[in-house]
Amino acid sequence: MSKYIGASVKRKEDGRFITGRGRYTDDIVLPNMTHAYIVRSPHAHAKIKSINVDQAKAQPGVVAIFTGKDMEADGVGSVPNGWQIGEDMKEPPHPPLAVGKVRHVGDGVAVVIAEDRYAAKDAAELVEVDYEILPAVTDGAKAMEKGAPALHDEAPDNVSFVWELGDKDAADNALKNSHRTTKLEIVNQRLIANAIEPRSAIGDYDAGRDELTLYTSSQNPHLIRLLMCAFVLGIPEHKVRIISPDVGGGFGSKICHYPEEIIMSWATRKIERPIKWTAERSESYLTDAHGRDHHTTAEMGFDKDGNILGLRVNTVANLGAYLSTLAGGIPTWLYGTLLAGQYKTKSIYVQVTGVFTNTTPVDAYRGAGRPEATYVIERLMDTAAREMNMDPAELRRKNFIAPDAFPYQTPVVMQYDSGNYEPALDKALQMINYKKLREEQKQARDQGRLLGIGFSAYIEACGIAPSKVAGAIGLRAGLYEGASVRVHPTGKVMVYTGSHSHGQGHETTFAQVAADGFGISIDDVEVVHGDTAQIPFGMGTYGSRSIAVGGNAIYKAIEKIKEKAKKIAAHKLEASADDLEFADGSWTVKGTDKSVTFAEVALIAYVPHDYPEDLEPGLEDNAFWDPKNFTFPFGTHICSVEIDPDTGKVKILKYVAVDDVGNVINPMIVDGQLHGGIAQGAGQVLWEEAVYDDSGQLLTGTMMDYAIPKADDLPSFEIDRTTTPCPDNPLGVKGAGEAGTIASTACIANAVIDAVAHLGVKDLQMPFTPQRVWNAIHGNGNR
């Protein structure tokens, strides 16, 4: 019986956060700890002619200064690329501190280690680097042009890979034979995740035991350990412990393995003292992996009734200066495979070119590939509806995959697990009072007001899986999740998960699963995450995989323990295990009142005074869950916006979201994930953009220049759900962390364009800043 699953249980972790007792990496102080400051390149592209550290080294408080050459001489490897895209992929080396050449502003050149952060920063200013400045290129398409500056000897044309998926001939034919086609040029601009906690890393080497502990604000400590041990430092995993304590947001930017983690881990062994590095925000802007940055042309063909026949997509993905951990997989496998959306598109072909430029490396940002795919499809759908003079809701409805068609095989690899798309659309239409809203829009136009309505019917792929598929598509890791569950003699339960929580509330959600599994109070469950020494193995948190993969691993471990516990209960009750049933935290002999509670069994498990020989004491187990497929949440979001014609400023009037994330463990937490996701999508549409000048300087390098949505910029959101359980996992869950962002970007963009389309504005590129919108309204083009 579910007491906790499905209930909005208040979060167990909140107590420490609201009282200032959270423990983030930068909060940690170790005895004899030093502080690091990294000297970074002010140039986007330059040869390092020399580095002089003499004057800096002589400063008070300086402990050591190292450069890339010191690390190279010590045999430290390249920051690894975790995802191979095709056998011809160009994977140039990425030294943790630059050697010979810098390739983006912020590329690390030297690390200064001192007694305190002020001393380190003072000394860093005295490190003299002699650069020979080279021409730079920041735009993906321009980097492919003949004569563009080449970043790496290994990729003289700056192309890392060209990837394609789908049947090109079939898509070409479908478009040729279409009654009409809709074509768009789409810029999915570069974004910066802006987790409010800047990244931090503390290296702590214990020379006596030859053991290294790295505290790092990472979304996946085990993966960082694997990468660092196997590919970079060459030290064995059992000598390395990675701890990611409380982490203040990640949004994808804390997935990748960063140079600073390597530098602190290597340098602490050199000086045999702990070293802390914490980014300043301006440093975060230059060195946290950026997101998106696609330039796409897309064509969708329809028959005369509005049925989609084919889709052809060509995307240039700007990867930045180096391949970040998952850089290759995001604009390819996590993007191209989602281009069917919710629609029964017969033929799809997509080509993606991954390009190096003199910009910060690009990696996952909330949704990672899926928002980009949804943006392409849903912008095309709204545009096509307008061109065909059809209602955008009805064009979508007509093309939805039917509920009896699941599991549904798309033309681009994916097999959707379950779905029922119309009820979500209908509910959203009802919530926003669509008919009335369209009438209001007409009236508003008559009064010269600019009111727009936008749609987004999205699909998400969560819990990337299974491992054999991951391997087949070049991902250099498995994609299961690990869990360990330990029952103490007093009946208290520890849950150790390989997922990592950085705001998602795992300590509560996972405890709900365990409390219901054992029929105990949630107060008797403690969830532990983020420590490789405590948790057998894990893959971390990204891609909305925590409940879909991590939650099911916990479920599986609980089931194993219950099998064992049942034998103990049978022994205690002097009954056959087959005659026992488990309910409300007790095993009962069927048809009798003879029973034993979970807590009693727990005690007997560790006090086995009268055990028979074949019964093993103890009550704990590990499990790994390797899903058989991705999960595919979906939904429809609709919003209305009003534009001030005098200023071009967009105001979101109403935002409704109907999401189907399968079964829900904690509705409050799921709603919270959706709220945050919608806000981030809104940020991309209306304000956010990483802007470089032609020399490769990041112009949006502080929070004063990069516009994150504030409370004042957003409305409250109206959220509802339909429930189509996932058939492939016992909890029936799908995942919810990224849905909001995946849906809202296209939704709000479509609304803005709907508001101004009657003025002759056919298209706009994000972000739809007041200036851009005003210019579009007044016929001055996009900028």
Partner 1 sequence: MTHTINVNVNGVAHEAQVEPRVLLVHFLRDDLRLTGTHIGCDTSQCGACTVLVDGISSKSCTMFAVQADGREVTTIEGLAKNGELHPLQEAFREEHGLQCGFCTPGVILSVYDFLQHNSKPNEEEIRHALEGNYCRCTGYHNIVKAVQKAAE
User: If binding is defined by CB under 8 A, does position 727 make contact with partner 1?
Assistant: no
Query: Using CB under 8 A, which of the segments 43-51, 171-179, 503-511, 554-562 binds partner 1?
Result: 503-511
Q: What is the DSSP letter of 230?
A: I
User: If binding is defined by CB under 8 A, does position 659 make contact with partner 1?
Assistant: no
The interface with partner 1 within residues 418-477 (CB under 8 A) comprises: none
Residue of 162, 184, 603, 714 that binds partner 1 (CB under 8 A): 714
User: If binding is defined by CB under 8 A, does position 195 make contact with partner 1?
Assistant: yes
Q: Nearest distance from residue 505's CB to partner 1, in Å?
A: 7
Size of the site for partner 1 (CB under 8 A): 62
Query: Using CB under 8 A, which of the segments 98-106, 187-195, 509-517, 629-637 binds partner 1?
Result: 187-195
Residue of 3, 6, 7, 22 that binds partner 1 (CB under 8 A): 22
Query: Using CB under 8 A, which of the segments 442-450, 501-509, 603-611, 629-637 binds partner 1?
Result: 501-509
Residue of 708, 723, 765, 774 that binds partner 1 (CB under 8 A): 708
For residue 723, which phi and psi values (nearest 5 degrees)? -130, 110
User: If binding is defined by CB under 8 A, does position 523 make contact with partner 1?
Assistant: no
**Element at 172 (helix H, strand E):** helix 168-176
User: If binding is defined by CB under 8 A, does position 106 make contact with partner 1?
Assistant: no
Residue (472 or 704) nearer to partner 1, CB: 704
Q: CA angle, 267 as apex, 266 and 272 as ends, to 5°? A: 110
CA distance 295 to 289: 18
Q: Nearest distance from residue 523's CB to partner 1, in Å?
A: 15
User: If binding is defined by CB under 8 A, does position 24 make contact with partner 1?
Assistant: yes
Residue (60 or 147) nearer to partner 1, CB: 60
Query: Using CB under 8 A, which of the segments 44-52, 58-66, 110-118, 689-697 binds partner 1?
Result: 110-118
Q: Nearest distance from residue 657's CB to partner 1, in Å?
A: 11
Query: Using CB under 8 A, which of the segments 6-14, 440-448, 628-636, 638-646 binds partner 1?
Result: 6-14
Residue of 677, 696, 735, 767 that binds partner 1 (CB under 8 A): 677
CA distance 23 to 6: 29
Residue of 128, 130, 145, 280 that binds partner 1 (CB under 8 A): 280
Burial class of 80 by CB neighbour count within 10 A (0 to 12, 13 to 18, 19+): buried
For residue 750, which phi and psi values (nearest 5 degrees)? -60, -35
Contact 277, 287 (CB under 8 A): no
Residue of 150, 406, 675, 697 that binds partner 1 (CB under 8 A): 675
Q: Where are the beta strands (DSSP E) in 246-362?
A: 275-278, 290-302, 308-320, 347-356
What distances in angstroms separate CA 222 from CA 84, 570, 759, one per listed residue? 20, 38, 54
Structure-block tokens of residue 503: 């705001």
Structure-block tokens of residue 307: 């049925």
Q: Nearest distance from residue 27's CB to partner 1, in Å?
A: 4
Query: Using CB under 8 A, which of the segments 25-33, 46-54, 143-151, 572-580 binds partner 1?
Result: 25-33
CA distance 321 to 138: 9
CA distance 673 to 635: 15
Q: Nearest distance from residue 699's CB to partner 1, in Å?
A: 15
User: If binding is defined by CB under 8 A, does position 502 make contact with partner 1?
Assistant: yes
Contact 751, 641 (CB under 8 A): yes
CA distance 672 to 719: 10
Query: Using CB under 8 A, which of the segments 112-120, 148-156, 526-534, 587-595 binds partner 1?
Result: 112-120
User: If binding is defined by CB under 8 A, does position 21 make contact with partner 1?
Assistant: yes
Contact 660, 762 (CB under 8 A): no
Residues 319-358, one symbol each (x = binds partner 1 by CB under 8 A, - = not), give: ----------------------------------------
Q: Nearest distance from residue 752's CB to partner 1, in Å?
A: 19
Structure-block tokens of residue 719: 């959220």
Q: CA angle, 296 as apex, 294 and 302 as ends, to 5°? A: 140
User: If binding is defined by CB under 8 A, does position 689 make contact with partner 1?
Assistant: no
Query: Using CB under 8 A, which of the segments 19-27, 256-264, 367-375, 689-697 binds partner 1?
Result: 19-27
Collapse the DSSP code of 547 into the 3-class scheme (helix H, G, I; strand E, B; otherwise coil) and give the result.
Answer: helix
Residue of 5, 11, 43, 631 that binds partner 1 (CB under 8 A): 11
Contact 228, 261 (CB under 8 A): yes
What distances in angstroms separate CA 4 from CA 72, 529, 563, 664, 672, one per listed residue? 53, 21, 22, 11, 18
Residue of 712, 779, 781, 783 that binds partner 1 (CB under 8 A): 712
User: If binding is defined by CB under 8 A, does position 194 make contact with partner 1?
Assistant: yes
Residue (198 or 696) nearer to partner 1, CB: 198
Structure-block tokens of residue 396: 């979508």
Terminal-to-terminal C-alpha distance of the chain: 58
User: If binding is defined by CB under 8 A, does position 26 make contact with partner 1?
Assistant: yes
The interface with partner 1 within residues 739-758 (CB under 8 A) comprises: 740
User: If binding is defined by CB under 8 A, does position 32 make contact with partner 1?
Assistant: no
Query: Using CB under 8 A, which of the segments 193-201, 383-391, 525-533, 544-552 binds partner 1?
Result: 193-201
The interface with partner 1 within residues 260-279 (CB under 8 A) comprises: 278
Structure-block tokens of residue 269: 């062994």
For residue 756, which phi and psi values (nearest 5 degrees)? -120, 0
Contact 291, 191 (CB under 8 A): yes
Residue (273 or 312) nearer to partner 1, CB: 273
User: If binding is defined by CB under 8 A, does position 717 make contact with partner 1?
Assistant: yes
Residue (167 or 526) nearer to partner 1, CB: 526
User: If binding is defined by CB under 8 A, does position 538 make contact with partner 1?
Assistant: no
Residue with the two structure tokens 């193995």: 537
Residue of 326, 679, 686, 739 that binds partner 1 (CB under 8 A): 679
Collapse the DSSP code of 7 into the 3-class scheme (helix H, G, I; strand E, B; otherwise coil) and give the result.
Answer: coil
CA distance 670 to 676: 10
Residue with the two structure tokens 């999205």: 458
Helices (H) and strands (E) in the chain, counts: 20, 28
Residues near 531 by Cβ (< 8 Å), separated by ≥ 6?
221, 241, 242, 243, 244
What distances in angstroms separate CA 334 from CA 372, 376, 377, 459, one per listed residue? 9, 14, 14, 12
The interface with partner 1 within residues 577-636 (CB under 8 A) comprises: none
**Distance of alpha carbon 112 from the chain centroid:** 32
CA distance 78 to 94: 5
User: If binding is defined by CB under 8 A, does position 672 make contact with partner 1?
Assistant: yes
User: If binding is defined by CB under 8 A, does position 198 make contact with partner 1?
Assistant: yes
Provide the binding-site residues for partner 1, judged by CB under 8 A.
10-11, 13-24, 26-27, 29, 116-118, 193-198, 246-249, 251, 278, 280-282, 502-505, 668-669, 671-673, 675-680, 702-704, 708-712, 714, 716-717, 740
